[in-house]
Amino acid sequence: MIVIVLTAAPPKIRGHLTRWLFEISPGVYVGKVSARVRELIWEQILDNIRDGRAVMVYSANNEQGLEFKTYGQEWSPVDFEGLELIMRPHNQGESSGKSQGASRRKGWSNASRYRRFGR
């Protein structure tokens, strides 16, 4: 089984993929093809994607049961002790759940100070 997700792809690629796969949602293609056809489809995507992004997930005989390829993504696949994981880029300017202008105070929290000094 194979799943391909395209973002900002030219119509040429989308039309080509409909020859081999079902388009179940805009930019999402699913089907069952041989490994050779899968690799040829991926080459066609890389040759014609331009500024778009592509992710291909397919069945494999490994512990996860799948493998994937990406193109044009900020997130990148990383091998972690035999498991293929996705590494997200860390943006220094982002703070978790807070606005961009808010700065974090350094040091111990007020609750930990109270506990520490028995107040």
Stretches where the chain sits below pLDDT 70 are 92-104, 119
Q: Is the pTM of this model over 0.85?
A: no
Could you give the 3-state DSSP secondary structure of residue 112? helix
CA distance 119 to 114: 5
CA distance 48 to 70: 14
* Token duo for residue 34: 């041989």
* Token duo for residue 48: 């014609």
Looking at domain 2-89, which of 2.60.40.1250, 3.30.390.10, 3.90.700.10, 3.30.70.240 is its CATH number? 3.30.70.240
Return the pLDDT at 17.
94
